[in-house]
Structure 1
Amino acid sequence: MSTQKSVLQEAGTVEENALRIDQDKAEQLVDALNTDLAATEVLYHQLRKHHWTVHGSEYRDLHLFYEEAYESASEGADHLAERAQALGGVPTSRPADFQERSPVEPEPEDIYDVRTMMENDMEMYGDIIETVREHIELAENLGDYATAELLREQIEELEEFAHEIEHFLEHDSLTEW
């Protein structure tokens, strides 16, 4: 790591922004966005793990589902980080900080049966959806309709993947129980 210091903005700070959103409001919004960013990154890594370790008779469908899900999470994280930066903040970016800031806990590194993996994912999606709903309301109350709209787009994606998991978890299957 470089020993030179050329810090342009310290993490945890919010500077004036070109969006003309009051700094106090921007600080609250950046904090919420960084929480959502951290949760999305934790989700991304869990989905990626499941993409790597999924097994069983429905392997192909689940493998492809997980790839689509983690790619969506990655894209969502980009949008959250870019909005935090546009508001004058510093997006959370270190894995340790993701874990610390996230309102969701990743499952342990063990490999689980497919049903357990998907139940764990469903729980994580649900927790993230609840947090994002709160942040949509915060953004609206602070008059930042663009952030509220970004979060609405995020929640639409999250709910879609949660609904797909719900279908996978149905008991109607070609496999024996």
Structure 2
Amino acid sequence: MTLPLRELGKTGVKISVIGLGCMGMSEFYGSSDEQENIKVLNRALELGCNFWDTSDAYGCGANEILISKILKDRRDEVFICVSNVSGKPEYARQACENSLKRLEIDCIDLYYQHRVDPETPIEDTVGALAELVKEGKIKYIGLSECFAATLRRAHKIHPISAVQSEIGVA
């Protein structure tokens, strides 16, 4: 079995229709076994799941370090999504730099502003992320948990390639 692929927006990039959220591999759901997690990551790729989601907040960066162990040999197979937890431009820049170091990669495929920061205008946040795109540190910008009006304001600053929304399937 191989997961079908779909184009991410109008980017031309093909990603698996089901992504792998890696948060639980570092915290929130009890103890974690690194070797088992590495097996899961490799199996995900075997099944065609190339869309992986992580954050600088998961395990205080430990999640990104775990993922880096796979990316060392299989970077071209993974479309890596990273989110940061603050919309402040200086935080977004530093968080991106730190994520790149922990993941041991030169560029993040999709960088999300995780849950729009009510203290920072979205134009400032997206402006900072757009600079990271120009510098080649991220390829695409995404927003998480945003209203349509906020998305429109953000898109005026720089194209938004993805919107992430939390849903419960139970």
Q: Does the alignment reach a TM-score above 0.5? A: no
Q: Say which structure is richer in strand.
A: 2
TM-score class normalised by the smaller sequence = under 0.3
Q: Which has more helix, going by share of residues?
A: 1
TM-score (norm 1): 0.25
